[in-house]
Amino acid sequence: MPVLPMTRELLAIDGGTPVRKTLLPYGRQSIGEDDIQAVTDVLRSDWLTTGPKVAEFEEALAAWVGAKHAVSFSSGTAALHGAAFAAGLKPGDEAITTPMTFAATANCVLYQAAAPIFADVSADTLNLDPEQVAKRITPRTRAVLAVDYAGHPADLDAMKELSASHGLVVIEDACHALGAEHKGRRAGSIADMTVFSFHPVKHLATGEGGMVTTDRADYAETLRRFRNHGISTDARQRQSQSEAQWHYEMVLLGFNYRLTDIACALGLSQLKKLEKNLLRRREIAARYEVALCDLKAITLPTVRPGVNPAWHLYPIRLNLERLSADRGKIFRALRAENIGVNVHYIPVHLHPYYRDRFGNRAGEYPIAEAAYARLISLPMFHAMSDGDVEDVARALQKVIHHFAR
């Protein structure tokens, strides 16, 4: 791995030579010929949607995570909406979640005309702090949406204790955490409902897509109806009956959130590679730690005992008191070196929609806000080569050394 340079180099942003000739993105999909063949086979079949690949993918994913049921959706956001619906959220209800997430986590509560209530995060993992959650519980609280930030599972034991004490539904937003383990159990087998995303930058890609896993048959039935216009059966079920059946009934107000057979075939093909993809991400995280552990101007991600993260992201925090530049300048300098860093996330309560509608203000969630001011996500995807990892480390060392106090 590269060694911290002893002299300052001219940064690319100032006219120097970039570490890389081409941009290394922060994340991207990996598609092989086997994936393409799986999709092609479906395109030649009788079913492009609501067909056999949907159930096959759901059953395979449920078995992989250790859950009794899995229900596919057209996106991770749709899956979150389905989970909020199945949890029974309605006008006047509240659900507690984290500000350190993508907006979809909180938005799904609003889709049910309920109120998202934010609680601050723990300083080490940037996951929901159970003590802060406990302070936000009211008689209107119905659910907790805990996010596995960057792929590190939330404190699910504490969330389940709160759930048992207050009669709450625990929804785990594991869109970062397919394959993560919490005390020997995989994400997807612990919470009341767990939501996954299959966006291209995730561990398993279907283009767009999502899944909810659960051990409760009643939740699974509600989720299936909700994603299919609220109709009690789907087209394949009606066609597969011994006698042709045209009759169907809408039993609740749902949406068209179905995942196609095309996407499910891709998901099944990708699922076969998931163990290898997870192993590679963990190797990359280990390489980053070795290469960067001596940089005093950054803080590397924390891993708690009993946790094996899935490493969707590799977020570092800048120790700005040791630097002569702010996060924005460091970010731009790394991009100029052709390292596609990103920032995850702008705290949800600071988005204009949430500020204007709910009167949220800066300073309400100090740990999340302080982290946001220092966060930079390094590239992390399983197709990265060792050379890519070395380029990232080399560029970060170059930039940090240049701005070191």
CB 281 within 8 A of CB 311: yes
How far is it, in rounded angstroms, from Cα 319 to Cα 298? 5
Please report which confidence band the pLDDT of residue 8 belongs to, taking 50, 70 and 90 as the band edges: confident
- In this prediction, residue 243 carries a pLDDT of 53
- In this prediction, residue 327 carries a pLDDT of 97
The sign of the torsion formed by the CA atoms of 64, 67, 71, 73 equals negative
- In the predicted structure, residue 241 carries a pLDDT above the cut 70: no
CB 209 within 8 A of CB 270: no
Provide CATH 3.40.640.10 ranges for the chain: 33-271
Please report which confidence band the pLDDT of residue 6 belongs to, taking 50, 70 and 90 as the band edges: very low
Report the Cα–Cα distance between both ends of the chain, in Å, rounded. Answer: 24
Please report which confidence band the pLDDT of residue 247 belongs to, taking 50, 70 and 90 as the band edges: confident
Retrieve residue 243's tokens. Answer: 């006698």
CB 2 within 8 A of CB 292: no
Sequence letter at residue 357: R
Provide CATH 3.90.1150.10 ranges for the chain: 12-29+274-341+379-403
Q: SS3 of 32, please?
A: coil
The order of strands in the sheet holding 375-378 is 298-299, 314-318, 375-378
Going by DSSP bridges, is the β-strand pair 298-299/314-318 parallel, antiparallel, or unpaired?
A: antiparallel
pTM of the model: 0.95
Specify the range with the lowest mean pLDDT, choosing from 121-135, 226-240, 283-297, 353-367: 226-240
Q: Which CATH number fits domain 12-29+274-341+379-403: 3.30.420.40, 3.90.1150.10, 3.30.230.10, 3.40.50.720?
A: 3.90.1150.10
How far is it, in rounded angstroms, from Cα 313 to Cα 102? 13
What is the distance, to the nearest Å, from the Cα of residue 72 to the centroid of all Cα atoms in its chain?
16
The sign of the torsion formed by the CA atoms of 357, 362, 364, 368 equals positive
Q: SS3 of 135, please?
A: helix
How far is it, in rounded angstroms, from Cα 28 to Cα 322? 32
When comparing pLDDT for 31 and 232, which is higher? 31
- In this prediction, residue 242 carries a pLDDT of 53
Q: Residue 41 contacts by C-beta under 8 Å, 6 or more apart in sequence? A: 265
Active site amino acids: 202
- In the predicted structure, residue 7 carries a pLDDT above the cut 70: no
φ, ψ of residue 101 in degrees (nearest 5): -165, 170
- In this prediction, residue 238 carries a pLDDT of 56
- In the predicted structure, residue 69 carries a pLDDT above the cut 50: yes
Q: What is the pLDDT of residues 145-191, one digit of tens each?
A: 999 999 999 999 999 999 999 999 999 999 999 999 999 999 999 99
- In the predicted structure, residue 224 carries a pLDDT above the cut 50: yes
- In this prediction, residue 1 carries a pLDDT of 52
Specify the range with the lowest mean pLDDT, choosing from 42-46, 237-241, 312-316, 376-380: 237-241
> Closest Cα partner for 67 from 286, 240, 217?
217
- In this prediction, residue 240 carries a pLDDT of 59
What is the distance, to the nearest Å, from the Cα of residue 28 to the centroid of all Cα atoms in its chain?
14
- In this prediction, residue 233 carries a pLDDT of 80
242 exposure class (CB count in 10 Å sphere: 0-12, 13-18, 19+): exposed
Please report which confidence band the pLDDT of residue 75 belongs to, taking 50, 70 and 90 as the band edges: very high
Please report the DSSP string for 342-383 in residue order: B-----GGGSHHHHHHH---TTSSHHHHHHHTTEEEEP--TT
Mean pLDDT of 103-120: 98
Q: SS3 of 257, please?
A: coil
Residues linked to residue 200 through DSSP beta bridges, in sequence order = none
Domain 33-271 belongs in CATH node 3.30.1340.10: no
